[in-house]
Amino acid sequence: MVITRISGRIIRFTTTDGFVLDGFLIGRGKACIVFLHGMTGNMGMTPMKLAIAKASAKLGVSFFSINTRGHDIVSRVKKGKKYIIAGTSFERFEDSVKDIGGAISTLKKLGYKKFILIGHSTGSQKILYYQWKKKNRDVLGMVFIGPGDDYHITKKELGRKFNSAVLTAKKMMKDRQADKPLQYSWQGFSARRFLSVADTKNVEARLFNYGGPLREFSAIKLPILAVLGSKEEWLWTPAKNYAKLLAKKASSMQFDSSIIDGANHGMYGKEAELAKVVAKWTGKLL
């Protein structure tokens, strides 16, 4: 896929609890998309992001791809003169609210007044949790791209080892070994990070648990667009069933869904189709 280059700049922002993160900002305007990467991802401009940014620019909407403190598998984030070990394996999911809050605060200082939150994969959980917690009136709507059911994905991946893994992780938590890697986890998660997706007592495991009540999702009143690939490799039921379930649970003033034919989780080779769907939907919000 060939995409014409579009210029942008790296913007450094501070989370609401004082950590320094980076984002890549493209375009100028009063409205801005804030894009959140998935597990082990980062702010890097992938073909998916470039396609959405280019389509959004035609609408006069800027695009800000941000790092969360959970970027990459393992990373370092700075607060003052100190660094802490972060990345997907060691992040605390709930801290993503502080990351998004810091990004939006910085964009406001740059003159942006309205925002559209877009999340890919686990980024979908993060923008949902942020809006559920903060109810930010400056957010016009949210786009979930490949919102995966991490709880059931984890159960499927581990099979018979799942219950044992959960028990081991809980014991590690009690033994003050929360940040030590759990051997069962294919992502090399710490015990705490593993339980975040494997125990429905934790909010991350509930947000897109399609076998659960989806309470947090159902509480959102903002316009929502959910986009799934017909060949999504992480689904445990056909994409159309996910879309129907989300529509049934939605309390949004405007819920829309789209299934990209032939697309997988990363939308590889289908970026232009995805961008067209997102841009068309975004244009209705402006």
Looking up residue 279, the CATH number of its domain turns out to be 3.40.50.1820
Residue 198 belongs to domain spanning: 150-202
Q: How many residues does the chain have?
A: 286
Is the domain of 126 the same as that of 42? yes
Residue whose C-alpha is closest to residue 28's, from 136, 105, 110, 115: 110
Task: Determine phi and psi for 121, rounding to 5 degrees.
Answer: 55, -125
Is the domain of 232 the same as that of 111? yes
pLDDT for res 186: 61
Domain presence at residue 19: yes
* Contact indicator for 130, 99 with CB cutoff of 8 Å: no
* Burial class of residue 9, CB neighbours in 10 A (0-12, 13-18, 19+): exposed
> Residue 105 and residue 60: Cα distance in Å, rounded?
20
What is the radius of gyration, based on Cα positions, of the chain? 18
pLDDT for res 185: 67
pLDDT for res 2: 41
**What residues pair up with 86 in beta bridges, in sequence order?**
75
Is the domain of 110 the same as that of 156? no
pLDDT for res 161: 93
Domain boundary among 158, 182, 202: 202
Is the domain of 213 the same as that of 248? yes
Is the domain of 112 the same as that of 54? yes
Burial 230-247 (b: 16+ CB within 10 A, else e): eebebbeeebeebbeebe
Domain presence at residue 233: yes
Is the domain of 18 the same as that of 104? yes
Residue whose C-alpha is closest to residue 150's, from 39, 252, 49: 39
Is the domain of 82 the same as that of 178? no
> Residue 283 and residue 118: Cα distance in Å, rounded?
14
pLDDT for res 40: 93
Is the domain of 197 the same as that of 176? yes
What is the count of structural domains for the chain?
2
Is the domain of 173 the same as that of 271? no
Domain presence at residue 2: no
Domain presence at residue 280: yes
Domain boundary among 202, 233, 268: 202
Half-sphere exposure of 155 (CA within 13 A, CB side): 14
Is the domain of 62 the same as that of 172? no
pLDDT for res 285: 95
Domain presence at residue 1: no
- Displacement of CA 242 from its chain's centroid (Å): 17
* Contact indicator for 124, 146 with CB cutoff of 8 Å: yes
Residue whose C-alpha is closest to residue 217's, from 206, 228, 205: 206
Residue whose C-alpha is closest to residue 142's, from 163, 124, 165: 124
Is the pTM higher than 0.75? yes
pLDDT 10s digit of each residue in the chain, 286 long? 444 567 899 999 999 999 999 999 999 888 999 999 999 999 999 999 999 999 999 999 999 999 999 999 999 999 999 999 999 999 999 999 999 999 999 999 999 999 999 999 999 999 999 999 999 999 999 999 999 999 999 999 899 999 999 999 999 999 999 999 998 766 679 999 999 999 999 999 999 999 999 999 999 999 999 999 999 998 878 899 999 999 999 999 999 999 999 999 999 999 999 999 999 999 999 9
Is the domain of 94 the same as that of 163? no
Is the domain of 141 the same as that of 60? yes
Domain presence at residue 269: yes
Domain presence at residue 250: yes
Q: Distance between the two ends of the chain, CA-based, in angstroms?
A: 29
Domain presence at residue 3: no
Give the three-state DSSP class for 188: coil
